[in-house]
Structure 1
Amino acid sequence: MTAHEAEGRADLAAMAEALYALVPGEFTRARNDRTTQLRADGEKDLADAVKALPKPSAGAWLVNMMVRQMSEEIGQVLELGAALRQAQEQLDAAQLRALNNQRRRLTAAVVRQAVKVAAGLGQKVSPAVADQAEATLHAAMTDDGAAAALRTGLLVAPMEAAGLGGVDLAGVVAVPGAMDHVPRTVEAEAAAEESPARRLTVVPDRTRLLEEATEALEAAQFLADGAARALRKAEDHVSRLEARGLQLRAEIEELQRQIDERESTLQSVEDDLGEADEQREAAVETHDEAQAAVDAARQKVAKLNRRR
């Protein structure tokens, strides 16, 4: 490797360190901003390399965060891993059993602590992601290469021990040639007199900002136009319903007037019916009396005819 290549790899590792120290939601924008700035500075090759850096998975981010913010605990994990590997080489079964029990307790405790630290950074960790982090710690304890990968703090994917086959490290580290890279830890930054910012500082790209603002304006205008159309449609609907309501109310009032009129007519008819019933009863009584008189006269006439 030439001196120039080594310098470029070191620069890439340094930029990757800053990027992989960010919380997941900030990674893509920061990477793109750094790429834009590098291109503007004429660093095309480095810009392409930074642009190619993949966003870490949630499990990888959690472990990278642990390397930076829980360096003491990670040190304990790796020390225990070294002891485990030595016991395995010496075929010390009793020691292996004891160390494996200790490993399970330690990795579980470290991950639980990491979940709390992540919550303090505004990142919620699911049980599945916590399991991935614990598996990654286990892998680093069983394999030298995995331990070196973990120390970089540049993981893009979780690791997993694969029995006698070791750990597959393909595509696990963001900068494969930086396996000896060790990121600055929180403790180191706190001890430094002038601690460099742990977040990327990027010179604003005014053209990009203007384009984004214009796109945001167009999107907002599109939404506003759609909302205006929806408002007009709703107002038309309301107007039609109000007109229909007025029409129905008028029809109800007319029907109510007709009902009142017919109720009045019905009352008059019922009154006339009462009088007509009385007149009919009187007529029946008169008719019955007249009929009785006719019957009596008829009988008298018949009686007189018989005496002749």
Structure 2
Amino acid sequence: MADNELDSLYSEPPDAFTARRTELAAAAKGRGDTEAARRISGARKPTTAAWLVNRLALQRKDTKEQLADLGERLRAAHASMDGDAIRDLSAEQHRLINKLTRAAFEEAGMKSPSAAVRDDLTGTLQAAIADPEVRDRLGRLSKPERWSGFGTFGDAAPVAKSTRERTKAPKATAPDRPPRPKQGEPLHDRKAEAAQRQLQKLTAAVAAAERAKAQADDELSEREAECTAAQRRRDDALASLRKAERELKSAEQRYDKARQNSRAAAESLKEAKAQLRRG
């Protein structure tokens, strides 16, 4: 039961996650399933990119199978150092990731995703191809994943590099200076390379800023959902208080009426006894 509820929870958009988690945990607790309530309450809200991958894996059951199949074939090609196979499979990996990325955005109705979300989405799919542990957690991710490039795929030729890693500039000879130009290198080539490095640096900065904004927006959505839930609990508590006050007032009125009846009955009894003695 808890697995089905967690599937439902992780299919929810991030801005609806917290309220849905509270609702599902309360329902599990209400039916006496404390283990399910504990698991649901402990579920962490996913980032936008993690939600997109989770949703894709939950709604397209063959997603994990496609990633696993390609991952195993890449692993075998690296193990045998088959350069031709590695090149062919790398191209296949590129096509598969592009296909799944488009599907994730289209099915979520996301027409203009940010560069940061796209980068995190493709990076997570690459990691899922390379790492079975990441692949097993698709559908329950709370944050994007990255393939480090180390492990059984080989240290020298990692396949599942992220977009950010692919766009890194070459190491400079000094932290703040570009590489020394080669002897006889045309000036316009050096300028073009410097401009390219600057463009890559600015692109990375924009992606980082978009990622920070996405995280801040996710945090804002979660806090807003918490405020909404707290306001709903307050309103429910106020309604319960008003109902209790009305019930108290009604009970006090019935008590006063009963006390009056008791006194009247006591007077009637006293009068009846007096008449009995006189008679």
After TM superposition, the score normalised by the length of structure 1 is: 0.46
Q: Residue 118 of structure 1 contacts residue 125 of structure 1 at CA under 8 Å; is this kept in 2? A: no
Which residue of 2 is the match for residue 149 of structure 1?
Answer: 137
User: SS of the counterpart of 1:163?
Assistant: coil
Residues 1:134 and 2:122 are matched in the alignment? yes
**Equivalent residues in 2 for 1:138-287, closer than 5 Å:** 138-150=126-138, 153-165=139-151, 211-212=234-235
Contact 1:115 1:130 in 2 (8 A): no
Q: Secondary structure at the match of 1:37?
A: helix
Letter aligned with residue 71 of structure 2: G
Structure 1 residues 60, 215: CA separation in 2 closer, same or farther (over 3 Å shift)?
farther
Tell me, in whole angstroms, the C-alpha distance in 2 between the residues paired with 1:213 and 1:29. 16
Q: Is the 8 A contact 2:75 2:152 kept in 1?
A: no
Unmatched runs of 5 consecutive residues or more in structure 2: 154-230, 240-279
Identical counterparts, % of pairs: 28
Q: Please report how far the alpha carbon of residue 15 of structure 1 lies from its aligned counterpart in structure 2 after TM superposition.
A: 2.2
The aligned counterpart of 1:100 is 90
Distance 1:80 1:149 in 2: 17
Shift of 1:81: 1.8
Contact 2:2 2:36 in 1 (8 A): yes
- The 5-angstrom pairing of residues 287-298 of structure 1 reads none
Correspondence for 2:23 among 5, 14, 33: 33
Equivalent residue letter for 2:84? A
Q: Which runs of 5+ in 1 are unaligned?
A: 1-10, 168-207, 217-308
Query: How far apart, CA to CA, are the structure 2 residues paired with 1:36 and 1:124?
Result: 36
Aligned to 1:191: none
Q: Offset of 1:83 from its aligned partner?
A: 1.1
Q: So what's the TM-score if we normalise by structure 2?
A: 0.51
Which is richer in helix? 1
Q: Could you tell me how far apart the structure 1 residues matched to 2:238 and 2:69 are?
A: 53
After superposition, give the CA deviation of every residue in 1:219-265 in whole Å (9 maximum; x if it has no partner).
Answer: xxxxxxxxxxxxxxxxxxxxxxxxxxxxxxxxxxxxxxxxxxxxxxx
Indicate conservation of the 8 Å contact 1:66/1:74, yes or no. Answer: no
* Distance (Å, rounded) in 1 between the aligned partners of 2:111 and 2:236: 28
CA distances 1:175-229 after superposition (whole Å, capped 9, x unpaired): xxxxxxxxxxxxxxxxxxxxxxxxxxxxxxxxx957336789xxxxxxxxxxxxx
Rounded Cα–Cα distance in structure 1 between residues aligned with 2:80 and 2:13: 42
Q: Is the 8 A contact 2:7 2:58 kept in 1?
A: no
In structure 2, distance between residues paired with 1:78 and 1:42: 38
Would you say the 8 A contact 1:28–1:55 is kept in 2?
yes
Asked whether 1:46 is paired with 2:36, we answer: yes
In terms of Rg, which structure is larger?
Answer: 1
Tell me if the contact between 1:16 and 1:50 (Cα under 8 Å) persists in the aligned partners. Answer: yes
Quote how far apart the aligned CAs of 1:20 are: 0.9
Residue number among 36, 49, 55 corresponding to 1:65 in the alignment: 55
Mapped to 2, the partners of 1:210 and 1:98 lie a distance apart of 58
The match for 2:99 is 109
By how many angstroms is 1:19 displaced? Answer: 0.8
